[in-house]
Amino acid sequence: MVDKQLRRRGIRDERVLRAMLEIPREEFVPPDERVLAYCDDPVRIGYGQTISQPYMTALMAELLELTGTETVLEVGAGSGYAAAVLGALARRVVAMEIIPGLVQLARDNLRKTGRDANVAVLEGDGSLGHSDFAPYDAISVAAGAPDVPPSLVEQLKDPGLLVIPVGGGPRGFGDQELRVVHKRHGRVESRTATICRFVLLRGGGGWR
């Protein structure tokens, strides 16, 4: 996975590559889907949700430019895999999940893989962020939003980076843009890193 799907497609951050080499992805997918754990595709985890393809997890982590000192907000914890990767790259991760069953699943997966020491999975509307631990050095959103939620920009440090898929329409059809939002010197700038497809972001800052 690391050699063929990540290095060959341009992932260069050695810390990201090492984290994804060390973290057992099969522990974050359902038992009947484990044969697909290292395929270059999303994998179903129940509740109409998926774990992102490995390349997208790596790309989003790389775009955040983490050095190990940051507090990161993750929106859409799912089964906990991306939170585990971010936890290997940052000082602290606050992972929000709106589906109660996935909250417990992510907590269980992080605990059994020993990745829960600096990762907290909280139930709630992550599209609105989580002000208790704000501001965040970096924010990663693993679901497509109609636009960049203002609450997430507000909770981002200056300087800080936010990575989020945007677009796709309320019924989930069409491509999304993976946006990299950079807050610095009081200004907010955005660029598109690639085209992608994620499940839809639910909540007050997402699709209603």
- Where in the sequence numbering do the catalytic residues fall? 52
- 22 — phi, psi (to 5°)? -85, -30
Which positions ≥6 away from 173 have C-beta within 8 Å?
none
CA dihedral 69, 6, 143, 49 (to 10 degrees): -120
> Given the DSSP bridges, would you call strands 156-166 and 136-141 parallel, antiparallel or unpaired?
parallel
Q: What distance in Å separates the CA atoms of residue 79 and residue 174, rounded to the nearest whole number?
A: 25
> Given the DSSP bridges, would you call strands 92-97 and 71-75 parallel, antiparallel or unpaired?
parallel
Q: What distance in Å separates the CA atoms of residue 46 and residue 15, rounded to the nearest whole number?
A: 30
Handedness of CA 75, 92, 34, 63 (dihedral sign): positive
3-state helix, strand, coil in the chain (%, to 5): 35, 30, 35
Structure token digits, residue 139 = 């924010």
3-class state of residue 185 by DSSP: coil
